[in-house]
């Protein structure tokens, strides 16, 4: 089973969060797609098409679950797009937000994100939710 891991990648703490999600998935025997690891980074606008093809066209192939980190003051534009894409394709998603509850972050998380998937606040809850959603 393949899991797509979405989240912001601009700080070391953001990359560390995504690595922790990746480690949890691997511990559960899941294959992962981590965009910045598997598709690389965009250095400028000229890289946009290459990143889109690697990240979305290839990265979403055979994906059965999307896990998104929503930590921080704002959800990344790419993360929001990836979650919407997954929803449109009928791929379930789970979000993790460890820095505050969805109620506390309601203003910038939006009703749409909150209503479209379960949002957990710990790695223990994430593990349980992954097992529930993928029936493993």
The pLDDT, as a whole number, for residue 31 is 98
The pLDDT, as a whole number, for residue 62 is 96
Helix axes 123-134, 12-27, angle to 10 degrees: 50
The pLDDT, as a whole number, for residue 78 is 92
Q: How many domains would you assign to the chain? A: 1
**Backbone conformation region of residue 123, classed left if phi is above 0, alpha if psi is from -120 to 50, else beta:** alpha
The pLDDT, as a whole number, for residue 106 is 79
The pLDDT, as a whole number, for residue 79 is 96
The residue count of the chain comes to: 136
The pLDDT, as a whole number, for residue 115 is 92
The pLDDT, as a whole number, for residue 97 is 96
Task: Quote the domain boundaries for residue 90.
Answer: 2-134
The DSSP secondary structure of 53-96, one letter per residue, reads IIIIIITTTTEEEEEEE--SSS--HHHHHHHHHHHHTT--EEEE
Enter the pTM of the model.
0.94
**Backbone conformation region of residue 10, classed left if phi is above 0, alpha if psi is from -120 to 50, else beta:** alpha
In tens digits, what is the pLDDT along the chain, a chain of 136 residues?
999 999 999 899 999 999 999 999 999 999 999 999 998 888 899 888 988 998 899 999 999 999 999 998 889 999 999 999 999 999 999 999 999 888 887 777 888 899 999 999 999 999 999 999 999 9
CATH number assigned to the domain comprising residue 83: 3.40.50.450
Task: Please give the structure tokens belonging to residue 10.
Answer: 């601009």
């Amino acid at each position: 089973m393949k899991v797509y891991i979405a989240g912001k990648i601009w700080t070391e703490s953001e990359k560390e969060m995504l690595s922790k999600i990746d480690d949890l998935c691997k511990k559960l025997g899941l294959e992962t797609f981590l965009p910045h690891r598997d598709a690389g980074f965009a250095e400028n606008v000229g890289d946009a098409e290459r990143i889109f093809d690697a990240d979305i066209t290839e990265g979403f192939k055979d994906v059965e679950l999307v896990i998104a980190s929503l930590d921080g003051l704002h959800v990344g534009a790419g993360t929001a797009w990836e979650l919407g894409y997954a929803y449109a394709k009928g791929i379930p998603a789970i979000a993790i937000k460890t820095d505050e509850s969805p109620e506390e972050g309601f203003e910038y998380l939006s009703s749409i994100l909150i209503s479209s998937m379960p949002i957990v606040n710990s790695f223990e809850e994430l593990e349980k939710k992954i097992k529930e959603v993928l029936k493993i």
